[in-house]
Amino acid sequence: MIKNEKEIIQPIEKKPLGPPKSIFREYFESFVITLIMAIFGMTFILQAVTVPTGSMQNTILVGDYLLVNKFIFAPSGNPLPFLPQREIQRGDIIVFKFPGYPESLNKSRAEKEQAGPAFQINFVKRVIGLPGDKIEVRGNEVYINDRLLPEHRIIGDASDDKSALDTIEFEERQPAQNYDVYYSEREIENGGDSDYTFAASGKPFTVAEDSYFVMGDSRNRSLDSRYWGVVNRNLVIGRAMFVYWSCDRGASNGSMLGCLTNPRLARIGKMIK
């Protein structure tokens, strides 16, 4: 029984080992930890990319800065059951290293320069064909294994600032059509162009194993699998998630400062689908 307050056992205070940390040291350690986590995240989980061309308009605009999920697609198509991973699916918008033109295609130097150097620049396209699929582009329609691919087609012609397309919805959306693709009014009226290197009308193309047939949503302005072939699985970086920044490239004259002072606030945070 405790007789007086002096007999109460006081808690033992733990003395810090070594000299106290300076403010500079605390900030430095926090910076190093943050940097390590950022490097890890940018290497294995996320990556930021910018969109320089209009091949995906209006889904993605020129001047959009995207965050890419590098972790979602399981390596070799074998997702682990305890991780949030899956295989690449039709309709996914993926970011990948441009594979270049196959050696078998006799392309001029100008055509190759227009597309850019192989394995060095990032492309953003929508997955249309999966391994083993038979692809055929008949005018303005895409056929997968002789069945029409359900895409919501919209007339879209380039606007004056070329940052978006002036669109006219000319067909009613059906339940299976979960994304939009854009064709010029001239191509819709003329039935579309079928003079492609791969998957041209009457010349179906079968997608090889571990490869994907990709196309841009702005169909008449996209240099895609119809011209240079398929994307191998090992060139896929990840799936486009959302727009974390967007600016009007025309108003900014291509400069970083101009991009910061001419934001498209309505685009920031937009999910890509």
> Which residue, 59, 211, 50, 216, is CA-closest to 125?
216
| Strand runs labelled E in 145-224 | 147-148, 152-158, 165-168, 180-183, 205-206, 211-215
Q: What is the pLDDT of residue 40?
A: 46
Residue 121 phi, psi (nearest 5): -115, 155
DSSP 81-119: TTSS-B---TT-EEEEE-----TTS---HHHHHHH--TT
Q: Please tell me the pTM assigned to this model.
A: 0.80
Name the CA radius of gyration of the chain, rounded. 26
Residue 18 phi, psi (nearest 5): 80, 175
Cβ contact 230:208 at 8 Å: yes
Q: What is the pLDDT of residue 52?
A: 82
Cβ contact 157:164 at 8 Å: no
CB atoms within 10 A of CB 85: 15
> Which residue, 226, 207, 213, 209, is CA-closest to 115?
226
Q: What is the pLDDT of residue 39?
A: 52
d(CA 190, CA 187): 5
| Run of H or E residues at 144 | strand 141-144
d(CA 82, CA 77): 15
Q: What is the pLDDT of residue 41?
A: 46
Q: What is the pLDDT of residue 90?
A: 96
- Tens-level pLDDT at each residue, the chain (273 residues): 545 555 555 555 555 555 666 676 665 556 555 545 555 445 445 688 888 888 999 999 999 999 999 888 877 656 666 677 889 999 999 999 999 999 888 888 878 778 888 889 999 999 999 999 999 999 899 999 999 999 999 998 866 556 788 888 888 888 889 999 999 888 888 877 777 899 999 999 999 999 999 999 999 889 999 999 999 999 999 999 999 999 887 776 667 777 888 899 999 999 999
Mind listing the domains of the chain with CATH numbers? 41-76+87-102+119-267 (2.10.109.10)
DSSP 212-241: EEEE-SBGGG---HHHH--EEGGGEEEEEE
